[in-house]
Amino acid sequence: MKFQYLLLLLALGLTACNQEEYAFGDIRAPRNLQIEATVVGQTADTPNGDGSGVVIFTATAEDAITYKFVFSDGTQEVAPSGQLTKRFTQVGVQNYEVTVVASGTGGVATTATTEVTVESTFSDAEALRLLTGDGTKTWYWAADEPGQLGVGQNDGDATKNYFANYYQAAPFEKDGAGESQCLYEDELVFSRQGDQLYYELNNFGLTYFNAAYQDVAGGSQGYDFCYEFDVKDEPQLVTLSPSESVVAANGIPGQTRGTVLNFTDGGFMSYYIGTSRYEILSLTENRLVVRAVQGNNAGLAWYHIFTSTKPVQGGGGEEPEFNQLVWADEFDGTALADTSWSYNTGTGTDGWGNNESQYYTNRPENISVSDGTLKITAQRENYRGSDFTSSRIVTEDKFEFTYGRIEIRAKLPSGGGTWPALWMLGADYQTNTWPACGEIDIMEHVGNQQNRVFSSLHFPGNSGGNAVTESTVVETASTEFHVYKAIWSENTIRFYVDDNLYHTFSNRAGLPFNKDFFLIFNVAMGGNFGGNIDADFQQSTMEVDYVRVYQ
């Protein structure tokens, strides 16, 4: 019996082996793996390429199904065809080791390694200047801004990869408990020596750690916490490189500067999330917004907002209180008050214009007051050589003021090409030509970026497309009324939507924002900012419920 039993087991084993061999088929490791690397722009005069850092790789092998490229800069890519274009971002002439893994049937693989020498000459001189000012500049957390610390997704969704859609800290939120108070104390000091950028973090002995990295500080709280932590006590080199993130790949203007800060020696920007690479989304004289992917979780992107003026909770008594109503229009009548407003009529050739397409009129078809709101309507019609009409009104010579709180409750038009604006212009513009006179845009919106509103400041060196601009998303901008507010003092100009602060500008002597301005309301069509006009557009209206100025 035992012998028969053993024969049975042997037969079953042979059957199983035959079936297993049949399932796998012919297993072959890839053979004759070859790697070809072409450095873009390589000539006898430029042996390391044209400075773009781009290299085109071609891997070939017999019996290979797919290829994986592993680079010594810490990145890797899968290329089923064996062809891959890679941009190396470390500035200067660098040597990189490239390993190719060619996979065949049954999971067997063959590897080969080569080296490339390539040069990257990426630079961002303006970022260097803005980060360091006259040579050294200290940055602080913009603790008074919503979302000064936030986190969002990191994937291929172009609509959600440039802002903290998972969580945004409320103003001064981290000041509420000892476990996080150290965050707002940090000083981030950038300095420059020639064309070199350096960085030093003054953490005063404590660093706010993401819970996933508490072991680095020897902590055990299990949540984000301020731990004792020693940082470098001397400036560390920071290199700049072009961004290759999903945000940069989306190619949507205004979402990223396209520059990455690479901190050496384990440097990091105050909140410890296990990375030394931070992508600059926005950078002005007084505001810095960066995005960084968490070191141990590629699905999370963190957002930090810094300012060059340290915020003080409650304002520290430094900012004036603007509580006295000095001028208002509630639009409760049946006509525009000529004691407060005048019309600008005509086209851009009459003294303004940004290649816009409308003709401004004072006709009731384009501007009216009824049911408690001012209505400015842009519409398609052939009028005096223009394809569109609209209206533009001003308080010039009737109400002009310096400093105050301006509140405007409005519902915006929609449609590709619409460009409504609620803004102010320096009253001396006729003798002090724009941009020297200054411009404060409390709210601008373009239908081609529906639900995104902008605030901007134009002045010498920062005009036109180079204005100091920030934006925020207002999901119901064209379907509901919202309050667009600016608080303007000799120290700052702050912009809000429904009491949510999203843009702070440091005002100072020497800028044109310390004298009288007047108000302008208009709806433009097309132009440099409005963009292409939808072929199906017929008309749309901006409604203003009220405008109030407090001093």
Of the listed 356, 396, 444, 470, which one is catalytic? 444
Structure tokens given for 367: 């501007």
**Residue 273 structure tokens:** 């999330």
Q: 84: which strand partners?
A: 57
Residue 396 is a catalytic residue: no
Q: How would DSSP label each residue in 519-544?
A: EEEEEEEBHHHH-SPPTT--EEEEEE
DSSP β-bridge partners for residue 380: 388
Catalytic residue among 185, 279, 400, 439: 439
- Is residue 368 within 8 Å of 376, Cβ to Cβ? no
Instruction: In whole angstroms, give the CA distance from residue 340 to residue 376.
Output: 16
Asked if 444 is an active-site residue, the reply is yes
CA distances from 270 to 200, 278, 283 (A): 10, 12, 18
Strand partners, 52: 120
Radius of gyration of the chain (CA): 30
Collect all residues with Cβ–Cβ distance below 8 Å to 45 and sequence separation of at least 6: none
Torsion sign (Cα): 430, 432, 434, 437: negative
Q: How many CA atoms lie within 13 A of 442 on its CB side?
A: 29
Main-chain phi, psi angles of 165, to 5 degrees: -85, -5
d(CA 84, CA 485): 50
C-alpha 523/C-alpha 539 separation (Å) is 11
CA distance 499 to 395: 25
Tokens coding 309: 């003026």
- Number of Cβ atoms within 10 Å of the Cβ of 221: 13
Contact 81, 112 (CB under 8 A): no
Which position has the token pair 């722009």?
41
Do the Cβ atoms of 70 and 60 come closer than 8 Å? no
User: Which residues partner with 237 through β-bridges?
Assistant: 198
Residue 496 and residue 481: Cα distance in Å, rounded? 14
Question: What is the per-residue burial (b if ≥16 Cβ within 10 Å, else e) of 293-303?
Answer: bbbeeeebbbb
How many whole angstroms separate alpha carbon 491 and alpha carbon 495?
14
CA–CA gap between residue 200 and residue 191 (Å, rounded): 9
Catalytically active residues are 439, 444
